Chain A
Amino acid sequence: MQLTKRAAAVDRSPMTLGERIYIPAIAKGLKITLGHIFKKKATVSYPEEKRPFSPVFRGLHVLNRDEQGRENCTACGLCALACPAEAITMEAAERKKGEEHLYREEKYAAKYEINMLRCIFCGNCEEACPKDAIYMSETVMPSNYTRDYFIYKKQDMLITDEQLAKRNATGKG
């Protein structure tokens, strides 16, 4: 029975004299390795040289703020619901008077935690968010010795004032 057309019969005939004295085969091998001297090296010298991330790369989470620096998140819980790994926990709170410059809407997340050891970086939270509040950046998660480190608090993920200023200046990022 023939399954594919690529099958080739194994040649089991005894070796000829040319094959038995090895030297032609060795010369052929040396030619191949010699050719590799001039090939392009595949090495990327990592910390100095970085390969660009793919446009669809999903890295560490970022909590977004609008142009005036107000948090987008309204603690609706859709991201936590969408999360297959149940890595997201949050507690909602009501915006007080005088906090309008901090939170965009009346309800905000007082506590927002992602357990990065549970997170599978699927990006469902990003998809689920109706307020554009959570994004996945192009940052690889750093390593650490303690488990506590990997429970990221809101302050760990919120984009910083510098990032905000840069985004406002360039219109992207």
Chain B
Amino acid sequence: MLLLSIDWIFFIEKIALILVIILSSFGVAAYATWGERKVAAIMQDRIGPARAGLFGLLQPLADGGKLFFKEEIIPDHSTKTLFILGPALFMVTALMTSAIIPWGPDFTLTIGGTVHSVALQVADINIGILYIFGVVSLGVYGIMLGGWSSNNKFSLLSAIRSASQSISYELAMGLSLIAVLMVTQTLSLKTIVEQQHGFWADGYFTWNFFKQPVAFLIFLVCSFAELNRAPFDMPECESELNMGYHQEYSSMKLGLYLFAEYINMFISSAVLATVFFGGYNFPGMDAVRDAMPGGLFSIICVTVLMVKVVGFILFFMFIRWTLPRFRYDQLLNLGWKGLIPLALINLVITGGVILFFFNK
């Protein structure tokens, strides 16, 4: 099956995987909007969307359909190319991160005696975490371009806020991850997950959360800021900036912005679960692996990862409907004077512990 020296099976495999991942990201994001409204309703003693379908489960379809039929307005004085590019870029960067997340162990399938093995990861690149940072920092371009090209002062202010917020929190995020990298000794997400195999090994918890709780906390807070979600939803604080950077957007362009935020939330939950909560690993996985065929085991692992991801998404929503928005100076103070020193101290202590106790 080697044609023009391209491994076509590999090619088709990857395309299928990419399609599945993108479609399921859309699905999860769509139902995250429904979930958000339900969670908000429950926290406020309401019942939330309940009309469209059973428990309002068709609500995302109704919302999407509504957005498609809205009038598309491009303001006269906007920079049209960038105005259209903004939401597209935001969506693309939101989806790009999903490429390096290992969704499960290799999916093995025995057909006629030969064992086919399909990796459930689009690309196992050895600079995985760096790639995440690269793409996440590109994400702010979608907001910046949208806010700037709208030619509206509120949008511009919000875009600037978003940019400075992202830059401030990326520093702390990076520093917190360096401490994790000192423990794992690798940047490849696949290896990081494999190191967290099971739950308990050699007298230690294997998950990075137990080795680096402070780094986890810093990373969590920073991902709230990176996602522009409450309590750090500065770029779109309705009370100050009307609607924020997507004020001039309408129809599906607005939909794309709102939707990409939920995809971002899904992906960053997946990153959190992968880096800190063992990815697809779960306690007692060895026994489960021996008991069933390889294909089924992979599916169970993917399900476990999804459960963790949904847990994180629920936590994000839970926080959003609990905490009021931070003031802008509080936000920057927390980032620069709180989290960055904390991450540095964590880094030094981690280094010291590794040097004195694990230096073999």
Contact = CB atoms under 8 A, between A and B. Distances in A.
Contact of B43 (A22, A36, A45): A36
B323 A43 contact: no
Interface residues of B, number: 14
Interface string B325-337: 0000000001000
Contact of A29 (B46, B47, B50, B322): B322
Contact of A36 (B42, B50, B319): B42
A21 B337 CA distance: 11
B107 interface: no
Contacts of B322: 26, 29-30, 32-33
Given A33-B318, A33-B321, A42 B43 contact: no
Contacts of A41: 45-47
Given A30-B318, A30-B322, A32-B322, A37 B46 contact: no
A45 B318 CA distance: 25
Contacts, number: 34
Contacts of B323: 26, 29
A40 B321 contact: no
B47 A43 contact: yes
A47 B334 CA distance: 48
A96 interface: no
Contacts of A29: 322-323
A45 B42 contact: no
Contact of B46 (A21, A22, A43): A43
A39 interface: yes
Contacts of A21: 338
Contact of B45 (A22, A26, A32, A39): A39
Interface in B83-117: none
Interface in B64-81: none
Contacts of A30: 318-319, 322
Nearest to A43: B47
A32 B321 CA distance: 11
Interface of B is mostly: loop
B345 to A, nearest CB: 13
Contacts of B334: 22
B44 interface: yes
Nearest to B217: A23
Contact of A40 (B43, B45, B318, B338): B45
B42 A37 contact: yes
Contacts of B319: 26, 30
Interface in A17-57: 21-22, 26, 29-30, 32-34, 36-37, 39-43, 45
Contacts of B43: 33, 36-37
A44 to B, nearest CB: 10
Contact of B44 (A26, A36, A45): A36
Nearest to A20: B338
A77 B2 CA distance: 100
Contacts of B321: 33
A24 to B, nearest CB: 13
Contacts of A37: 42-43
Nearest to B330: A22
Interface in B308-323: 318-319, 321-323
Interface centre among A34, A39, A43 (most CB of B within 10 A): A43
B318 A42 contact: no
Rank and list the top 6 A-B pairs by shortest CB-CB distance, nearest first.
Answer: A33-B322, A43-B47, A29-B322, A33-B43, A42-B45, A43-B46
28 contacts: A21-B338, A22-B334, A26-B322, A26-B323, A29-B322, A29-B323, A30-B319, A30-B322, A32-B322, A33-B43, A33-B318, A33-B321, A34-B318, A36-B42, A36-B44, A36-B45, A37-B42, A37-B43, A40-B45, A41-B45, A41-B46, A41-B47, A42-B45, A43-B45, A43-B46, A43-B47, A45-B47, A45-B50
